Amino acid sequence: MDNITQKIHSAPLDLDIYNIRHKSGTNIIVIPMENYSSAFAIFGTHYGSVDNCFKLSGEEDFACVPDGIAHFLEHKLFENEQCGAFERYAKTGADANAFTSYDKTCYLFSCTENFDKSLEILLDFVTHPYFTPETVEKEQGIIGQEIKMYDDSPGWQLLLGITGALYKNHSVRTSIAGTAESISKITPEHLYRCYNAFYAPKNMMLCVCGNVDVQKVVKIADKNLAERENPQVERFYGDEPVQISCKRTVNSFDVPIPLFAAGYKLDCTCEAARENIMSELFIEMVSGKYTQLFADLLGRNLITEGFYGENFCGPGYRAILFEGQSADPDEVKREIDSYILKMKTDGADKELFRLAKKTVYGNIIENIETAAGAAHFAADLFFDGTDIDSYASFAADVTLEDFSRWLCGLDIDNSALSIVKKED
């Protein structure tokens, strides 16, 4: 099997984007950026914390693994029987990191020199797992301490509160890192099962941006990415009803001002690119600094300048969250609901839509201004099933009529409020 390369010139963004179907099965995106001295690479898999129940081709039943295993696996891949990846990166001068989210796990580095060697290290350690009972036990202690930090974070508890309120059965309700109890059950066998299922080449992507040469990237991939089995994996996230789980949750924390997250549960079966653009427009038209709602809430001291909206979506879940600090979160939620209802009843304001569309498109431009931003953006869109050029084109072409039709489908009542505040 040969590599298949497709070059796209994105006219809206004035970018050359190379999409390569590597012979190993891995998807590679390369975006050369002129006048950049640095390079940035992300090697990721479409596997996150929500993927805790699955079955392989030929298996009759779904099997669930302990919560937090995707995050645990991310930590363990940095070590092998000889030395850790960070020690190897220290010799090239690259700055390396990794993260696990609800729907993906990504390993990354940035560098201004020794790019070839740094990319080889990235592709090598991610594709060569090494787990033993001793190393797993050691990591359980380390991640256990990390979980305690999450437990002590009011912001993290706010997120768990709103996901628990919006979703009744979906695995997005669980913490990305798991719990002290769940990670204590992880074994090397669990890790190898998940690795072999989700770190298959066809489930992975490599994105390289900045001061890079396409042919050089492909040559390094040819050397370090071998053809491997690509098992068929069926995932199960839980039988999730359309309706929310509950209307309101409250967690007690010693915070000076209560934190809140107002969440609106959306249909997650529609095309991701379209839904993401519509959600971003909606967020801007509700929480943008130029909106009447923002001015009114701020003028009444119901919110602070930090009030913002978030597009919260992934496999089997989609919601829009509005978050901030307020002495009266319930009143803020009522005002947001009233504002959205008026928008639905009277129709979206033409000038407000124009400003929101300009802002959303501006955010796309801002995302590709740096090598790191472009790589993260391209990776996020890839795992959503789209690409930078298509996403930018949709954002440029969306109309007020398109948005108004989308807005009609939003159910204000299918929403919830999460609060973190001092105990009464």
Cite the active site residues: 74
3-class SS of residue 306:
coil
Question: Using CA atoms, how far apart are residues 284 and 308, in angstroms rounded to an integer?
Answer: 9
273 contacts: CB under 8 Å, gap ≥ 6: 381, 384, 385, 386, 390, 391, 394
- Structure tokens belonging to residue 319: 């919601």
Find, among 342, 167, 359, the residue nearest to 264 by Cα: 167
Calculate ∠ Cα 273-278-279, nearest 5°: 95
Phi, psi (rounded to 5 degrees) for 48? -135, -165
Question: Could you give the C-alpha distances from 401 to 58, 74, 273, 348, in angstroms and in order?
Answer: 47, 44, 17, 9
Whole-angstrom CA distances from 293 to 141, 170, 289, 290 are 46, 32, 9, 9
Q: Are 101 and 48 in contact (CB under 8 A)?
A: yes
Residue owning tokens 């089995």: 229
For 271-300, b/e burial (b = at least 16 CB within 10 A) is ebbebbbbbbbbbbbbbbeebebbeebeee
Give the span between the Cα atoms of 78 and 105, in whole angstroms: 13
User: How far is residue 362's CA from residue 395's CA, in Å, rounded to a whole number?
Assistant: 10
Judge whether 159 and 150 are in contact, CB under 8 Å: no
CA nearest to 149, candidates 177, 183, 107, 186: 177
DSSP 270: S
Distance CA 335, CA 203 (A): 43
Handedness of CA 314, 246, 180, 182 (dihedral sign): negative
